[in-house]
Structures are given as structure tokens and as C-alpha cells.
Amino acid sequence: MKSPAFDYVRADSPQHALALLAQHGDDARILAGGQTLLPSLNLRLSQPTLLVDIGGLTGWRGVSVQGHASQARLRIGALTRHVEIEESPLVARHAPLLTQAAPHIAHRAIRNMGTMGGSLAYADPAAEWPACVLALDGTLVIHGAAGERRVAAADFFHGLYSTALRDGELLAAVEVPLLQPGERHAFDELARRHGDYAVAGLAARARWDGTTLHGLRLAFLSLGDRPLRARQAEAVLQAGALDETRLAAADAALRAELQPFADLTHSAAAKTQMAATLMRRAVRNLAT
């Protein structure tokens, strides 16, 4: 199938894009990497009359360290492509969770075009970046007619394909804290074939002092309508020295708190089992 006819404008500034959104309202769609939007147009799942291409907003593309000392953050522009994150030395040094996760996103051809901002704005619960940004306690930088506002990742994902972005707003960047001494990151997922969306996945970070995990954040993907923290399991795992008894208690806590959706191929019980397996693997990687 081919997409319905639409007009196309390449925005030359954020203000230009915002003005077009204000003028055309729900008839307009933002085009970033096009790797989700264009297939959905071809399938006629959406029929906008105007595409506003923000691909030329070069100021919203790239990775940098901003701020100093304890305030320093890694800033990733919304238009930074998946492959640029995968290959960035700055990302590998300061947020290795993202380096680990990137190769799991689709296939290389899609990673060459798709953007981090597009993935976060679309908020597919099976996508890798939303869970990573939640695990890293990231902040989403949003631009609108009233200026800039910042939203914590924990407050950004509202549900299936639903976020804190309001009509007429654009995601400009995401910022995450820099990796601290002793901090470890672990990403893993289970998919039917490499490049498929995950059946279950886990983005995790913690500090390890040789016996105990601290500051642990476990963010699962593909287990609900948005990326999900496993707070009960996190609490059990960092309540004292890590041993088999604690791991077994965390396993029980995780199974009690998760209520995954079944999907077309996997039951809720299978997904719960996968989540428990991913948690054990992540803990092994964080605590070595």
C-alpha cells in the first residue's frame, strides 16, 4: 500500500516547526527519521495532510557533556540517530547502557535513520530507549510555544504510545547523569530473532561495593504499556549483602509485582519467567 497524499515542509528552525504545528494542529505530523511514521502512513494507520520534517535542525543532533562536576550531564539531541549513539565514544564512556542497548534496535538500516527523539516521542513500550532513559533517571527536554520545560523520564511515559508531550510540543533532547565511579550498567533482551522487537528486556544500573548493590534501577521493556521499574525487586536486592537467598527473595518479589501483558507469541507467564531470567543475568553483570 502507498501513503495518502500529503504536503511536506522542511523546518529551518524549531520556531518554524512549532509555528507549523500551531497552524495545522492535528493535520500535521513531525517527521524525524521516518522509520515509524512512514510505515504507518503506508499502512494508512494515520493520514496527516502535512509532514513537518525536522531533520534539518542540526542543533538538535549530536552528543555532548554539559555542565560541570556533580551537575554534569550527557545531552543527546533528539535528532541523534540510533547508530550515532551506538558508535559514540562519549556515550560509551558516560552512559554505556545506551551503547549496550543500541545494537538491539531493529537492523542497521533502520538504526542509520531512526532517531532517539523519535523513539522516545513515539513511546512504544517494546522500544529500548524509553527503558534505558528510565533506568538512567534521565530528563526529557521539551520545546513548545511557551519555551522549554523538562520532564523526568519517570513522568514522561504515560501509557501505550502516550507521553507528557502536549499538542504542538517537540522533544528537543534527553539528558542523563554521567556514569559515576563504581557504577555499572547492564542491558539485555530476549527476542524471537535479532532485530525483532523484544519479547522482554531489561535496562539496569547500580553501584557495586563488592558485597552489596546500591542505587539499583531495574527498568523493563515489553512487559506493560510503558517502561516499568521493578521497585519491590530493587528494594530486596539492595537491602543487604547479595547472596542466593537474597536473589531468590528478589525473584519472588519480581514475580509478585510484574503483571505483564500476553502478546501474540508469549503468555504472561512466559514473559514473567523471561523477566526473572533477565534480572538474574543483570545482577550477575552488575555485581562482578
Distance CA 130, CA 143 (A): 19
C-alpha distance from residue 13 to each of 10, 33, 58, 172, 252 (Å): 9, 17, 9, 12, 51
Stretch that binds ligand FAD, among 114-122, 205-213, 266-274, 280-288 (CB under 6 A): 114-122
**Helical H segments across the chain, by residue range:** 14-24, 37-42, 82-86, 89-94, 96-101, 108-111, 116-122, 128-135, 153-156, 231-237, 244-257, 268-286
- Give me the phi and psi of 122, to 5 degrees please: -75, -35
Decide: is 121 part of the binding site for ligand FAD (CB under 6 A): yes
Minimal distance, residue 186 CB to ligand FAD, in Å? 18
Decide: is 105 part of the binding site for ligand FAD (CB under 6 A): yes
Closer residue to ligand FAD, CB minimum distance, 140 or 213: 140
63-66 and 73-77 beta bridge pairing: antiparallel
3-state secondary structure of 161: coil
213-221 and 200-208 beta bridge pairing: antiparallel
Decide: is 122 part of the binding site for ligand FAD (CB under 6 A): yes
Which of 77, 118, 144, 168 contacts ligand FAD by CB under 6 A?
Answer: 118
Contact set for ligand FAD, span 42-61 (CB under 6 A):
none
Decide: is 170 part of the binding site for ligand FAD (CB under 6 A): yes
Decide: is 168 part of the binding site for ligand FAD (CB under 6 A): no
How many chain residues are in contact with ligand FAD, going by CB under 6 A? 27
Closer residue to ligand FAD, CB minimum distance, 33 or 251: 33
> Looking at the DSSP assignment, which residues form a beta bridge with residue 136?
none
List the x/- string, 71-90, binding to ligand FAD by CB under 6 A.
Answer: -------x------------
Residue nearest to ligand FAD (CB): 114
Question: Which residue has cell 522533544?
Answer: 171
Distance CA 156, CA 136 (A): 13
Minimal distance, residue 244 CB to ligand FAD, in Å? 34
Stretch that binds ligand FAD, among 2-10, 25-33, 64-72, 271-279 (CB under 6 A): 25-33
Site of interaction with ligand FAD (CB under 6 A) = 29-37, 39, 78, 105-106, 110, 114-115, 117-119, 121-122, 127-128, 165, 170-171, 197
